[in-house]
Homo-oligomer: A and B are copies of this chain.
């Protein structure tokens, strides 16, 4: 079974380990005649790139994406699009001391239980590095449905939430924590410094808003948009909860308050 694939109409398959030679993805089902180049994908990878602030992984990766197939004269042909990023800063030695031990929350134990073998360098396949290919494939998806605008940001970090009355969409890209409220961004930076000094880390809640989605997308029941989104979100490392719309808050609303 294709356990490394996601999507119905547009379907992608990701491959690669954190410290292998490269990571990549094959995007299948992309409509033809779409203008596409590496420049459409790279800015999104740059935003995601580790090593750009002291708050993220210190790995230094240029994360240059290459498109290896599916294009002719700058346009998609309907053929599968192969994306690849060489792992430049793969440093197997750095992890040599942790290889024998199971790290908490890193799927080490689970992989061993399932497969009896695992690639120990940097979490191997379970590394958050895999999300780079989701970002790359997502950049193509954005071009396919330009009428939809998707934006994500953090609304809470270490239990400290933003003040929604001071929500400033411009602030999101102006701080390394993608926080839409400048003051919260400063507080969070301090919280993170503190946590790092204490040798621990902090949880966070991200919010994602898509505008321009027409009524009727997705399919009823099992292929419902909400269902596919929830599954996709929960497949990202460390995600433990997903809400749509009012989410859990709607459980505290009366039916007439909650009605659309």
Residues of A within 8 A of B (CB): 1-6, 8-9, 11, 13-17, 20-24, 26, 28-29, 32-33, 68-70, 72, 75-82, 84, 104-105, 107, 109-111, 113-120, 124-126, 130, 156, 158-159, 195, 198-205, 214-217, 219-224, 226-235, 239-248, 250-260
> In angstroms, how far is the closest chain B Cβ from the Cβ of A127?
11
Query: Which 3 A-B pairs give the minimum distances between C-beta atoms?
Result: A231-B231, A201-B255, A104-B259
Can you name 10 extra interface pairs (CB under 8 A) apart from A1-B8, A24-B82, A33-B117? A3-B28, A16-B68, A16-B82, A17-B69, A72-B120, A77-B117, A113-B216, A201-B254, A240-B243, A241-B247
Tell me whether A105 and B234 are in contact (CB under 8 A): no
Q: Which residues of B sit under 8 angstroms from A245, Cβ to Cβ?
A: 240
Q: Which residues of B sit under 8 angstroms from A117, Cβ to Cβ?
A: 32-33, 72, 75-78
> A70 — nearest CB in chain B belongs to which residue?
B15
Known: A68-B22, A78-B115. A258 touches B222 (CB 8 A): no
> In angstroms, how far is the closest chain B Cβ from the Cβ of A16?
5
> A223 — nearest CB in chain B belongs to which residue?
B3
Q: How many copies does the complex hold?
A: 4
Q: Which residues of B sit under 8 angstroms from A217, Cβ to Cβ?
A: 114
Partner of A227, one of B104, B120, B235: B235
Tell me whether B252 and A159 are in contact (CB under 8 A): yes
Partner of A4, one of B26, B250, B255: B26
Tell me whether A115 and B251 are in contact (CB under 8 A): no
Partner of A158, one of B4, B20, B239, B252: B252
Q: Which of A14, A109, A217 has the most CB of B within 10 A?
A: A14
Partner of A1, one of B9, B22, B77, B130: B9
CA distance A118 to B77 in the complex (A): 6
Q: Which residues of B sit under 8 angstroms from A24, Cβ to Cβ?
A: 26, 68-69, 82
